[in-house]
Amino acid sequence: MEQEIYIGVDIGGTHISSAFVDLHSGIISGTLKKKRIDGNGAMEETTQAWQSFLQNSIDGNTCIRGIGFAMPGPFDYLHGISKIEGVQKFNSLFGLNIKESFRPVLNGKTSPAVFVNDATAFALGEYYAGAARGSKKCIVVTLGTGFGTTFLTNGIPQQKVGTGIPPNGYLYNIPFKKSIADDYFSTRRFVRAWQEKTGEEISGVKDIAGYALQGNRPAKDVFDEFSSDLSDFLAPWLRQFNPDTLVIGGSIAKASPLFLPDLVSKLGKENITMVDVRISSLWDHAPLIGAAMYARQKSIEKTENKPFRKTTQFLAPEKASPNMPGHYDIYPGFPVGTGKIHEIHDGLAAWIAGHRQVVIDGYMGIFWDQLVETLNTGLLKLNKKVCWFHCDAALKPEEDLCEMIKPCLGEDGSIFGKITGKNLSDWFDTGKLQKIKPNPEADINILVGCGAALAGWDAPVIYADLPKNELQFRMRAGTAFNLGFEHPKDAREMYKQAYFIDWRVLNKHKALLLPHIDIIIDGQRPDCCLWITGDDLREGLANMSRNFFRVRPWFEPGTWGGNWMKNNIDGLNREAENLAWSFELMTLENGLMFESDGYRLEASFDFLMYNSYREVLGDCAERFKYDFPVRFDFLDTFDGGNLSVQCHPRTDYIRQKFGMPFTQDETYYILDCKDSSEVYLGFREDIQPDKFHEELIHSEKYATPVDIEKYVRKFPSKKHDLFLIPNGTIHASGKNNLVLEISSAPYIFTFKMYDWLQTDMDGRPRPINIEHGIKNVNFDRKGETVEKELISRPSILERNENEIIEHLPTHELHFYDVHRHSFEKHIKMQTQGKCHVWMLVEGSSVLLETAGGMKQRFNFAETFVIPAAAKSYTLTNEGKGIAMMVKAFVK
């Protein structure tokens, strides 16, 4: 049977020590090794000392199952990054990825290598083999150069805020008296107190303890005051957390006879008598044992293989081929030529190796650990000595970020916030960012993370992008978080923060970087990222802006979702419960796929707008700038349910309340439907607004159904009908429709006023927005006005030997219009400075040929865009019957 060997390593400001740990007994097996180091040394000096010590510690052992490093804080323990700065140790390592610095020694010999707070490691050691053994609930404090605390429940460190648990389980930064706890329960406190009482300087606690044992009154007073303060500080935490054991360790604990009896007495006076107060029994062995046992815990967790995305939809393949004519293609690729797109293992490490410094910036949700590990492994094979740095070390504390973004998050429980005006630099402590310095002794220095380019390194820029759908799937799985945060929240709150804050900030940053990007990485496939050069990306974007583009659609289930898309679109997951939406052209959330040798590399749609918005939009470019104005998406209620009865905000309201530049004016184009399908639109002539309002409130409060047809009109829907939904219009699609929404770009500003008592896919009630709705709904759109103003009446604009062109007039509030073209063979089009958004709504497929000579097939129900700069193009019907196409454009 293969022996399971784990190593514990304890790294302090003046030492590094290691030992093998017997997992069964929890005690050190073999010789404990220790070496003095200079924590104030240069980066190269310190890391070389660690590496050589570690090499010596594991030399000859090939079956090490894991290694745990106990490190002082502040430190990013999950990712192995030093955040220590401004103290008398490790300042030169600020921002350095310590985990990757150990890879040359550990690679192939141990997995996993994990990091744990030194106080937590101490606590785990005492739990498994020392003074806290057998405890169900305990607090372990370490009193030394700093004040460390760990809250344990059945041996598990408690880090989430709860009853009696501070953030991360840390008490060192809790306010106490005139400063923070760390200043009162560390060596600094004793040195300061002795000087205040005697006017003399002293090296540390040991000397003061010696004086106290000799009866020195000032020395005894120092310990008496210390025990009194410690009792006052710990009492409320002991009372709330209610542990059975309090363990005290650290160098100060070695003087426990001078303060422990008084501490226990004072706690007793606070009626805290059920806590067994113990002094450490393992001392320096505790963090070694604890670190090794922590590595074992993480090794077990790693084998559980938690999914990194939560969705019923498939991950896009790295390679795909176009579908047969007439079959909707879910992975459309824009050709950029052969040999342009590469797998991450193919040449990227060699490209990086040609530079002394590199910056890898990117979007939120990127799995930086995996990307760094992949690239570093490739660089080590090239015999390159690499230092990896992370700009996350310079992020402002989460509590500061919470306060900063609070004004943009709207009301608690609401799905609406307000668009931020912040910049990515606002997330960083610029002083700390400037402290991240390259190591002059390394072959290559690489700085990574969202915002890495802000550090101002003189280096080429790699950008790692991530499609918005995959980002959301990762957030739902708890593997990606909001910008600057490392903990999941409620899914709705995370999306709100992303939509109103994170995406806006990161997109502005991306726009500034685009001209300077040397390499772009598609990060959606963690095991096989694809990359393209910045020049090839920009050339591809420019070609798109003069010819055509189709975004990569993505699909989502919903409580009212149907089966039309599941049954009619190849490549979708047939096991999904339903599909409610297809995001056909939703510019904030869609990506663009580039094709080379069958590879499909995806970059976000906004890259195109940042690069070429004038060419794309033509005569409305300065009006909308980077905001592509038109949205196409599907609502599928085939064999599903009714959408909520809803309206969208008026223009002034959406600007003032939510910071949006224009509002959500929609239309419903009925692409397909069953018999007896219906659309709810406008009010009945006899609508009584107050009564309607009252019944909605009663329904939400008591979960009672509303006879909605007493208030809202209902119309039969037929294929190719167009229903007009300008802002403020009450509406809903009934079941058994496949609706093509032709709309202005905003899409989340839906004020649900009645939702048929449905719950969301997670079983929770969907958010209802009655008051928002009442403030925006137009009660004058009622009775006969609905037929006159809200149901489009097609008229023939032109009939010739090639085609029939119909005008499907939109409402006066709509800034876009709709034409329908029917033809048997082909039509020739001129953009005349307009951007055209197309969909084939009858027929099998059409072949596009642009004036630039590019050809592309588009199939039934696929959305595609002809930019204004294309100037002229031809559409050829590839089917046997009449091709019918709808075209939307800005008026």
pLDDT (tens digit per residue) in 317-370: 999 998 899 999 999 999 999 999 999 988 999 999 999 999 999 999 999 999
- Using alpha carbons, select from 699, 620, 717 the residue that is nearest to residue 661: 620
| DSSP single-letter state for residue 498 | I
Q: Which residue has tokens 């202005």?
A: 744
Q: How far apart are CA 384 and CA 231, in angstroms?
A: 53
Is 39 a residue whose pLDDT tops 60?
yes
- Is 734's pLDDT higher than 80? yes
Q: Tell me if 289 sits within 8 A of 295, measured CB to CB.
A: no
Cα–Cα distance for residue pair 835/585, rounded to 1 Å: 14
| Cβ-based neighbours of 482, under 8 Å, separated by 6 or more | 364, 489, 494, 497, 498, 501, 502
Nearest Cα residue to 516 out of 457, 592, 473: 457
Do residues 428 and 394 touch, judged by C-beta distance below 8 A?
yes
Burial class (CB in 10 A: 0-12, 13-18, 19+), 24: exposed
Runs of H (alpha helix) within 270-367: 285-302, 348-353
> Stretch 612-636: mean pLDDT, rounded?
98
What pLDDT is recorded for position 532?
98
Check pLDDT > 80 for residue 392.
Answer: yes
Phi then psi for residue 470, to 5 deg, are -70, -35
User: Which pair of tokens denotes residue 602?
Assistant: 């995806």
726: confidence class by pLDDT, cuts 50, 70, 90: very high
At 450 the pLDDT is 98
Instruction: Please say whether the beta carbons of 664 and 700 come within 8 A.
Output: no
Rounded CA-CA distance 232/176 in Å is 10
Q: How far apart are CA 191 and CA 424, in angstroms?
A: 42
Which residues are 602's β-sheet partners? 593
CA angle 573/578/581 to nearest 5° reads 95
- Cβ atoms of residues 279 and 253 within 8 Å: yes
430: tokens are 């610029």
Instruction: Give the single-character DSSP code of 618.
Output: G
Task: Tell me the two tokens of residue 869.
Answer: 């700069």
Quote the CA–CA distance of 125 and 769 in Å, as a whole number. 53
The strand pairing partners of 857, in sequence order, are: 847
pLDDT at 862: 98
Q: Are 435 and 333 in contact (CB under 8 A)?
A: no
**Alpha carbon distance 225, 266 (integer Å):** 12
Per-residue model confidence as pLDDT tens digits over 48-87: 999 999 988 887 666 778 899 999 888 999 999 999 998 7
Q: According to the model, what pLDDT value does residue 73 have?
A: 85
Measure the CA angle with vertex 672, ends 669 and 676; round to 5°.
100
Interval 194-235: pLDDT, tens: 999 999 999 899 999 999 999 999 999 999 999 999 999 999
Residue 392 CA: distances (Å) to CA of 366, 452, 473, 650: 13, 8, 23, 40
- Helix, coil or strand: residue 703: coil
**Other CB atoms within 10 A of residue 560 CB:** 23
Tokens 């070694």 belong to which residue? 288
Q: What digits encode the pLDDT tens for the residues 788-833?
A: 999 999 999 999 999 999 999 999 999 999 999 999 999 999 999 9
Q: How far is CA 804 from CA 157, 796, 798, 824, in A?
A: 71, 7, 6, 10
Report CA-CA distances (Å) from 744 to 32, 372, 725, 890: 68, 40, 11, 10
Quick check: helix, strand or coil at residue 626? Answer: coil
Which residue matches tokens 């501490």? Answer: 263
Angle at 590 between CA 589 and CA 591, to 5 degrees: 130
Number of neighbouring beta carbons within 10 Å of residue 210: 12
| Cβ neighbours of residue 702 closer than 8 Å, sequence gap 6 or more | none
pTM comes to 0.93
Cβ distance 682 to 790 under 8 Å? yes
Backbone phi, psi, residue 729, to 5°: -90, 130
Q: CA–CA distance from 427 to each of 482, 494, 759 (Å)?
A: 12, 17, 36
